Chains A and B, each alone.
Chain A
Amino acid sequence: MAPWLAFCVLAFAAVGLGGWCLPSRESRLAKCVWAVLCGIVFQAMLGTFAAASGCSFPRVFWGLTLLGGLGLPFSIWQISKSSDCSEKRKLAWFHVVLAFVFVDALAFGSWAISNTPLSSEDGIFHWSGRARYLFGDVNWSWDRADENYLGLATWNRHYPLLIPVWRAVLAGGSAAWTEVAARADGLVYYAAFIGSVWSLGRRLSASPFWAAAAAIACACQPLLTWHVQAGNADLATAAFLSAAVNALVRERWVVAGMCASGAVLTKNEGLLVYLPAMLLGLSVGQLKTDHFERKPMLLFLIGLLPVVPWLLFRLFNRFQLSPSGEKVGFQSDAILPFLEGFWLNPTSYCLWVFILISVLATGARLWAVQGGKELLSILLSSLGALGFVFVWTEASKWLQGDITLQRILMQLSGLGIVAACSGWSLLGSSLRPAQKENLEGESEQTAAVKPLE
């Protein structure tokens, strides 16, 4: 019971820490997700500095709890004080379906964490393994000359530390390493991911049905449900990425930068693929006919400040981006397996084929609404970057005997599903603009969907 209690305390402390960067007038759902994710970024940063300076993890845990506890009333006030006009509380059948799928995944994840051991190789070796070395203060050193520098003699020193540090802090709360410390954060990231997809859908879709449809479809991916309890970092990356794009689309630049920091500090895909894609998406969105808006870019870069110490650390240590090497060269053998990752993806069935066809069929409509440009730019440039990484670099070896591509596609699935659903919704609403939708619970076009001026 104590590990679960510590988990709840640390999660609420994250909300307390993340509350200060919330905008005042915004959707409550989006604010909840941003608060917890930004809070986790702060906790991991402070935890890393504290651990590197020799503080024990129980102390770090209680220190972060105190900080979060102090900020929690302000965060709750900030989250509850206002909402945007799209938040009409009307329960419809699709909300019930979404609730069922969502609760099922969380319930099963909780059950699996409580009753089964950590069994994912990456969880064992990278994420929870390094966290456990860090927590136990053995097989780990902050001294560059030590053999155990950043974890027991592994080739994964260049992996970011957000997940291992947060798990070690959580273990500090119950003063022992447990399965809860190793894996329970998946529950938070799952909730944040689905919440972000729903919120993003509400912003871009023409009706609440399509937003819920995106969230339902996203929650129905078998691989995603598995990741809730797996102890890997892919779900966390997906949550940070979708929350960052949601903030970009809602023009909350600093929060977008903070969430993008989370993605960079979670996995190297964040730095290699998603951060450049977000910078491109932001630039495309700010390109006006006669000028380029600089202020959003500046605010986004301010939000990215938490990654600066990590980037300097990487530079100091000369870390590479990928364990497979950074040599660039066209790998003709990789094209077919790469395309098969979309085509014959056993982890999501026909999902990516549907997304790609939908984007082709409806992308023009989505491009014309506020935020649609950013979403499509980020999605397509991320897919392009993945194509480059898997077909032009030695990462192509991960296409054989591994499901790395499928896991990365899972990280991007939220954006893809929202793009598909929003596109269809806009196409549908343009058919009969004056007519009310047939589906129960649907209203006139959401106020948030504004055509570009």
Chain B
Amino acid sequence: MECRRLAACVNRLLLLWMCIIPLPLAAETLDHALVQITVEEPLEFQRQAAIAWKTAGSDETHIKRVWLEDGINVYEMRGTPGWTGELAKIQLVAPPALKTQLELVEPTFEREQAIAFRNQPWMPSNVNHLPEMFVGGGFTLHLLSGLLLVLLGLIGRFGFRLNWPKSVGLAFVATMLLIQARFVVDRWTSASRLRAGDDVVYLYDEISRFGDAAAPMVAGQPWTMVEVDRFRKYGLFYELAESPYVTKLSDAEFVISTKNFPAEARARVGKIALYPVEK
């Protein structure tokens, strides 16, 4: 009897949780809005792109990397760091030849479905800037995982006559396995595409190119100002890690010299930008 009461209590708590979880609201603020990107031409492969935005009163540019497919793509933004408050500017960074249209949309049942069940390709990316795979269908899948847990628990209890603890345990494992199954499929699909030489450009490659470009700059060739974000700044340091640097922290300037090019150049480092300014 004690166990039954406990199980009933747990069940009520679960149901309560399902009821009070914030359901999608109208897109009155940025917090609840989704991004819809329409690709207006057929694509042979999925293509990487980035949604970049700034909010009012903030200098920081937030970037979320996404994959584009033919037709209408809807992206979960809720819960993404920086996706809050009033929007100042939003831009899609996509291959230039691609005709695209970006708009902010309200969550609807169809769009929630589209987010939850779209393929979530794995991509090498930066964990601190939540890549899409972690939001992975976001609120809808979050809600579904809870519902699934409760549903499977009830099926175990009343369908298979298991005791409550066993029903809960099996439902828990089955829910986690189903969540993982989705990521297993997505990851290996992405892996096979990458192996097949799909047209994938990594942010890291851009860093590498910038790092390669930095060396001749240091040697005295003319350069153009290149602004990079925090991630690329760190990436640049990583790329040139085995070349000596001399630092001046007081004025936030880094003097870069490489083994191959003994000449020096100065690079000013701001909060989110690094660019060469003088030889």
Q: Which residues of A are at the interface with B, using a C-beta cutoff of 8 A?
A: 94, 97, 101, 104, 108, 111-112, 115-122, 124-125, 128-129, 132-133, 135-136, 138-139, 147-148, 152-153, 177, 209-210, 213, 216-217, 219-223, 225-227, 230, 232, 343-344, 346-347, 349-351, 353-354, 357-358, 360-362, 400-403, 407, 420-421, 424-425, 427-428, 430-432, 438-439
Asked if B52 CB lies within 8 Å of chain A CBs, one says no
Asked if B220 CB lies within 8 Å of chain A CBs, one says no
Chain B residues near A421 (CB-CB < 8 A): 169, 172
Contact status A350-B242, CB under 8 Å:
no
CB-CB contacts below 8 Å: B14-59 with A: 14, 17, 21-22
Q: Which of B173, B191, B230, B241 contacts A132 (CB 8 A)?
A: B241
Chain B residues near A94 (CB-CB < 8 A): 173
A442 closest partner in B (C-beta): B166
Chain A residues near B81 (CB-CB < 8 A): 400-403
Q: Which of A124, A222, A344, A431 contacts B133 (CB 8 A)?
A: A222
Contact status A347-B166, CB under 8 Å:
no
Contact status A120-B126, CB under 8 Å:
yes
Contact status A232-B146, CB under 8 Å:
no
Asked if B175 CB lies within 8 Å of chain A CBs, one says yes
**CA–CA, A402 and B128, complex, Å:** 5
Q: Which of B14, B125, B202, B205 contacts A357 (CB 8 A)?
A: B14
If A124-B235, A424-B169 touch, whether A148 touches B247 (CB-CB below 8 Å) is yes
Binary per-residue interface labels of chain B (239-279) against chain A in the complex, 1 for a CB within 8 Å, 0 otherwise: 00111111101000010000000000000000000000000
Contact status A177-B242, CB under 8 Å:
yes
Q: Which of B162, B169, B177 contacts A101 (CB 8 A)?
A: B177
Asked if B194 CB lies within 8 Å of chain A CBs, one says yes
Asked if B237 CB lies within 8 Å of chain A CBs, one says yes
Contact status B79-A119, CB under 8 Å:
no
**CA–CA, A136 and B237, complex, Å:** 13
Chain A residues near B177 (CB-CB < 8 A): 97, 101, 216, 220
Known: A213-B169, A346-B134, A420-B172. 17 other contacts (CB 8 A): A118-B204, A119-B125, A138-B241, A138-B242, A138-B244, A138-B245, A148-B247, A217-B176, A222-B136, A223-B134, A349-B145, A350-B146, A350-B175, A362-B6, A403-B81, A424-B166, A424-B168
If A115-B194, A361-B9, A428-B165 touch, whether A217 touches B172 (CB-CB below 8 Å) is yes
Provide 7 A-B residue pairs closer than 8 Å at the C-beta atoms, listed in order of the A residue: A119-B202, A129-B238, A135-B242, A344-B79, A346-B142, A349-B145, A427-B6
Q: Nearest 7 A-B pairs (CB), nearest first?
A: A401-B81, A136-B242, A428-B165, A153-B247, A220-B180, A349-B145, A220-B176
Chain B residues near A213 (CB-CB < 8 A): 169-170, 172-173
**CA–CA, A396 and B65, complex, Å:** 26
Binary per-residue interface labels of chain B (193-218) against chain A in the complex, 1 for a CB within 8 Å, 0 otherwise: 01100000011110010000000000
Contact status B127-A120, CB under 8 Å:
yes
Asked if B124 CB lies within 8 Å of chain A CBs, one says yes
If A216-B176, A223-B134 touch, whether A361 touches B124 (CB-CB below 8 Å) is no
Contact status A147-B246, CB under 8 Å:
yes
**CA–CA, A220 and B249, complex, Å:** 43
Chain B residues near A153 (CB-CB < 8 A): 245, 247, 249, 254
**CA–CA, A122 and B129, complex, Å:** 11
Chain A residues near B79 (CB-CB < 8 A): 344, 346
Contact status A344-B247, CB under 8 Å:
no
